[in-house]
Chain A
Amino acid sequence: DIQMTQSPSTLSASVGDRVTITCRASQNIKSWLAWYQQKPGKAPKLLIYRASSLDSGVPSRFSGTGSGTDFTLTVSSLQPDDFATYYCQQYNSYSTFGQGTKLEIK
């Protein structure tokens, strides 16, 4: 099974900050990686697929990079609506999600 490890687990930041979340796969997943945002009591929302492709309607302040085993999600200028939990997901071999990164207000 492919394991996904996110860091950090919690990130404290302020509105306007640039933040980066890292995701590492236990084996090569090429570019088959997605990022989701989840708010309490809600379903995950797709942000990015194929490592760097923005889903329809997602603000351009979100971006993704990486291939192979190392990936990043960057938010260029945090907005109040961005404080949530973020998950990476590999879909090279079925699917595995990371354990999540909680982005909280500093």
Chain B
Amino acid sequence: EVQLVESGGGLIQPGGSLRLSCAVSGFTVSTNYVSWVRQAPGRGPEWVSIIYKGGDTYYADSVKGRFTISRDESKNTVYLQMNSLRAEDTAVYYCARVPLAANGPPYFFDFWGSGTLVTVSS
């Protein structure tokens, strides 16, 4: 059974740093595309970042230079290091998997975690 479980969210002051974790089971992070998607209160989802099967990484312009996605294949876990946090980064952060058999651009998602809340406030 495919599962993704996020952790690491919390209350952080503006300018601070936080690392989110996404522990997966039922598939391996080294052979799948995994993304982070966030959703601010009352808003639609916003794609944040993706790590490709081959290890390439991509980011939304809103987080480029501040956030870093990585993975630990031995732990089957994907991370999101978030630095220089701003109030507008406040959201529920989800990790999500691209379908194995997807053809075309790998940016839609068939399995999602339940999310972890990040609140940036003084």
Closest to A99 in B: B44
- A98 pairs with B105, CB closer than 8 A: no
Give the total number of A-B pairs whose CB atoms are below 8 A apart.
53
Q: In the complex, given contacts A91-B108, A99-B43, what are 9 additional A-B residue pairs having Cβ atoms less than 8 angstroms apart? A: A34-B108, A49-B99, A93-B105, A94-B107, A95-B35, A95-B37, A95-B108, A96-B47, A97-B47
Cα A100 to Cα B42 with chains together (Å): 10
Cα A44 to Cα B45 with chains together (Å): 9
Q: How large is the interface on B (under 10, 10 to 19, 20 to 34, 35 or more residues)?
A: 20 to 34
- Cβ of A55 within 8 Å of any chain B Cβ, yes or no, is yes
A residues near B35, Cβ cutoff 8 Å: 95
B residues near A43, Cβ cutoff 8 Å: 94, 96, 112-115
- B45 pairs with A87, CB closer than 8 A: yes
Binding site for B on A (CB under 8 A): 1, 32, 34, 36, 42-46, 49-50, 55, 87, 89, 91-100
Binding site for A on B (CB under 8 A): 35, 37, 43-47, 58, 60-61, 94, 96, 99, 102, 104-110, 112-115
Q: Determine how close the nearest CB of chain A comes to the CB of B90; give it in whole angstroms.
A: 17
Q: Which of A45, A91, A96 contacts B105 (CB 8 A)?
A: A91
Closest to B115 in A: A43
- A49 pairs with B58, CB closer than 8 A: no
